[in-house]
Amino acid sequence: MTAKTPEQSRTIMTDLVLPSETNPLNNLFGGELLARMDRAASIAARRHSRRIVVTASVNHVAFSRAVPLGSVVTVEAKVSRAFKTSMEVFIDVWTEDRESGKRTKANEAIYTFVAVDETGNPVGVPELIPETELEQQRFIAALRRKQLSLLLAGKIKPAQASELKALFEE
Ligand SMILES: CC(C)(COP(=O)(O)OP(=O)(O)OC[C@H]1O[C@@H](n2cnc3c(N)ncnc32)[C@H](O)[C@@H]1OP(=O)(O)O)[C@@H](O)C(=O)NCCC(=O)NCCS
């Protein structure tokens, strides 16, 4: 399998916030944003693996800024690291000022997808080669996040989370 860069999986989805997608404060409902991010991230994982992909876990979500009704929201997803059958996908969410067009970072999230065959069994994915400094930072930290996610899911023991443990020993 030929290695790929994060750029090759880059997926951008831009859409409006409509009244049916808001909470009582007239801001975008969190679950609606999670769904938009899941869709963009799954396309990115599919572009990287060229396989059927399923969401294995939502590793991190930060709803740092409310997104008001009528906003133009851009969700940008890229694979940040590929393991054996799983891929971490980083999602950045931007809003756009109507008059100036200036973009503001509103939220970010990190999802894990697994490539599977037609019967749902995990299958191998190509290696990911990060290029930019940000891509390299995200690539390095992805192993810690994978270990934390597996630890919280009860799939590994603390002793197996070597990269994660090293964080606390620095
Ligand atoms: C995701 C799924 C395929 C994993 O199956 P599994 O039997 O746990 O398979 P494995 O133990 O071989 O794990 C496969 C990969 O997923 C990773 N993984 C599994 N659970 C994970 C978790 N909670 N966090 C991060 N990675 C996880 C494993 O580390 C492994 O990665 P690697 O091969 O790159 O090292 C399976 O649990 C599944 O089909 N879940 C339902 C998915 C779905 O329907 N999503 C939509 C929800 S509505």
In a domain, 56, yes or no: yes
In a domain, 133, yes or no: yes
What domain range includes position 12? 6-169
| Predicted pLDDT of residue 163 | 87
In this structure, which residue's CA is closest to atom 18 in ligand 1? 56
Whichever domain contains 89, its CATH number is 3.10.129.10
In a domain, 1, yes or no: no
Consecutive H or E run containing 164: helix 162-169
In a domain, 48, yes or no: yes
In a domain, 78, yes or no: yes
Region 30-55: mean pLDDT is 98
In a domain, 101, yes or no: yes
The pLDDT tens digits of the residues spanning 59-102 come to: 999 899 999 999 999 999 999 999 999 999 999 999 998 889 99
The encoded tokens of residue 56 equal 């294995």
If DSSP codes are grouped into helix, strand and coil, which group holds residue 43?
helix
Question: Among 83, 86, 113, which is best to mutate for testing ligand 1, by the most ligand atoms less than 8 A from CB?
Answer: 86
pTM here is: 0.95
Spatial contact of 87 and 115, defined as CB atoms under 8 Å apart: yes
C-alpha of residue 66 to centroid of ligand 1, in Å: 31
Spatial contact of 160 and 102, defined as CB atoms under 8 Å apart: no
Domain count, the chain: 1
In a domain, 23, yes or no: yes
56 lines ligand 1 (CB under 6 A): yes
Alpha-carbon separation of residue 100 from 49, 86, 92, 93, 96 (angstroms): 37, 39, 20, 18, 8
The pLDDT tens digits of the residues spanning 3-40 come to: 999 999 999 999 999 999 999 999 999 999 999 999 99
In a domain, 126, yes or no: yes
